[in-house]
Amino acid sequence: MKAINPILLAGGSGTRLWPLSRKTFPKQFVNFNSEKSLFQHAALRLMSSATVNFAPHITITNSDFRFIVVEQLQEMGVDPGSILIEPSAKNTAPAVLAASIYAAKDDPNTLILIAPADHAINDVQSFHEAIKTGLAAVEQGNLVTFGIQPTHAETGYGYLELGENPNHNFKPVSRFVEKPNYKHALEMFEDDRYLWNSGIFMFRACDLLEAFEKYKKMMLLGVRKAVEGSVPDLGFLRLEVNSWEDLENISLDYAIMEKAENIVAVPFSAGWSDLGGWDAVLKGSKLDEKGVAVSENAHSIDCQNSLLRSESASQQIVGLGLKDIIAVAMPDAVLVADKERAQDVKSVVEKLKALNVRQAEIFPKDHRPWGWFESIALGDRFQVKRIFVKPGAALSLQSHHHRSEHWIVVEGTAKVTLDDDVKLVSEGESIYIPIGASHRMENPGKLPMLLIEVQTGSYLGEDDIVRYEDLYKRS
């Protein structure tokens, strides 16, 4: 059984799921209705089974998410495989092309499956069966997309219009339809010629490259240069910056699939959702007898058809007499919306960005290669942070121009460098870091380390850092 190279697209922002999904920690890395994130589920369903044979994953993401990708794969004992780093977000066409060129460097006939990392698919076996069905079409030189049998008139998805084909297993795609209004969605739902567009594709690398040669030749040349000029970096592969920055920002659908004459669709029904909004999360949640989904820290009293979710035990959310409401509480932001307006949450984010509201894009828990930190109190000249450092990890050797810091270790042991002095700070002990002092925090132990950091000074921004040494090669 020939191996299929799965490529996970993990660079999206998922703004329609704000405030839980944000630019700095988007929906693919979030646990919605499971103990695993969408990205973790995507990686697991792209592992070999009796039905299909997969090669190790190739993930393409951006620099901010590279360590999250590794961490989440390692949590499941999954080999991270190859991870390509985009210098900047250029939509799916350049990303898919770069990963495909990389995967096919030794064999132009390499089989490739493109899978967004932020989708939910409940029936993995049916998904694998659909992939197996699609292989016959791929071997005939087709570009294959997987269309979902609609279950209702959905305005949040694109659609595929199918042409005629005596082969009932797959049919040519006559056109792609953008997200419709409700009237048009209802018409397509009632017409068996239409499927939802999943954004999942399969092809031979040579057939995709031929399509780019025909429709987007300049992009093909630019992406080749970016791949050929890529450099290894701590186990990742960074695509070359200059060639990449000149590329057009465009989706694979617009660049290739809507133009190609050899695009066919394989229909499947596998409990698929792209979780494109809170209404989709509600549909995929465990509901009570009144159609209400509640999280661990949420409570419903006489509510109907609503989603109530809180991400913190210290912040309980209670719905009283609500109907068709989405209510999502984060420590730093709360969304309350009519369920029918779930697709408009993206416009909320844009409004907050225009007002320079930090919560528009910045997640309260900031993930770093060494662990994470979150702000738990912020005032005019002070900030209190909770900092988690993984075993064996170390922050950069650094200094600050505008703030001093006071560290209190609450779990584990910290190895602290303060100018020329190195000492161990144990649980319950503390240390003061003056303004301008070079310092580093390390976790020398085999257990996680947790500490409280109190910052005081005239400026507390994260850009007040002068790095002298860094294991992770950050500037």
CATH code for the domain in which residue 163 is found: 3.90.550.10
Q: Write out pLDDT tens, residues 453-464.
A: 999 999 998 889
pLDDT reading at 73 higher than 80: yes
Does residue 323 fall inside a structural domain? yes
Does residue 360 fall inside a structural domain? no
Does residue 474 fall inside a structural domain? no
pLDDT reading at 241 higher than 90: yes
pLDDT given for residue 390 in this prediction: 94
Q: Are 42 and 153 in the same domain?
A: yes
Global pTM reads 0.88
Domain boundary among 331, 354, 377: 354
pLDDT given for residue 52 in this prediction: 94
Which contacts of 437-440 are long-range, i.e. CB under 8 A and separated by 24 or more positions?
437/399, 438/397, 438/398, 438/399, 438/468, 439/397, 439/398, 439/399, 439/405, 440/394, 440/395, 440/396, 440/397, 440/398, 440/416, 440/469
pLDDT given for residue 270 in this prediction: 77
Q: Are 285 and 262 in the same domain?
A: no
Q: Are 211 and 314 in the same domain?
A: no
Whole-number average pLDDT of the chain: 92
pLDDT reading at 216 higher than 70: yes
Measured CA to CA in angstroms, residue 435 lies from 128, 322, 425, 455, 465 at distances of: 57, 51, 20, 10, 11
pLDDT given for residue 167 in this prediction: 64
Weakest mean pLDDT among 110-119, 157-166, 289-298, 320-329: 157-166
Q: Are 269 and 284 in the same domain?
A: no
Q: Write out pLDDT tens, residues 249-279.
A: 999 999 999 999 999 999 988 788 888 899 9
Which alpha helices (H) appear in 140-233, and where do they start and end?
182-189, 205-215, 217-228
Q: Rounded to 10 degrees, what is the CA torsion of 16, 297, 122, 147?
A: -10
**Overall average pLDDT of the 45-54 stretch:** 94
Does residue 220 fall inside a structural domain? yes
Q: Are 139 and 249 in the same domain?
A: yes
Does residue 100 fall inside a structural domain? yes
Q: Are 208 and 341 in the same domain?
A: no
Q: Are 315 and 405 in the same domain?
A: no
| Helix (H) and strand (E) counts in the chain | 11, 30
Does residue 359 fall inside a structural domain? no
Does residue 475 fall inside a structural domain? no
pLDDT given for residue 475 in this prediction: 64
**Overall average pLDDT of the 63-87 stretch:** 90
Q: Are 222 and 239 in the same domain?
A: yes
Q: Are 261 and 135 in the same domain?
A: yes
Domain boundary among 254, 273, 292: 273
- Provide the CATH number for the domain around residue 400: 2.60.120.10
Domain boundary among 302, 330, 354: 354
Per cent of the chain over pLDDT 70 is: 99
pLDDT given for residue 157 in this prediction: 87
pLDDT reading at 45 higher than 70: yes
Weakest mean pLDDT among 283-297, 364-378, 387-401: 364-378
Does residue 240 fall inside a structural domain? yes
pLDDT given for residue 430 in this prediction: 96
Confidence of residue 473 (pLDDT cuts 50, 70, 90): confident
Q: Are 30 and 81 in the same domain?
A: yes
Q: How many domains does the chain have?
A: 3
pLDDT reading at 334 higher than 80: yes
Q: Are 331 and 376 in the same domain?
A: no
Q: Write out pLDDT tens, residues 436-449.
A: 999 999 999 999 99
pLDDT given for residue 218 in this prediction: 96
C-alpha–C-alpha distance, residues 71 and 359, integer Å? 24
Confidence of residue 64 (pLDDT cuts 50, 70, 90): confident
**Overall average pLDDT of the 21-48 stretch:** 91
Domain that holds residue 296: 278-354
- CA angle, 92 as apex, 90 and 95 as ends, to 5°? 75
pLDDT given for residue 166 in this prediction: 60
Q: Are 324 and 393 in the same domain?
A: no
Structural tokens at position 189: 């739902």
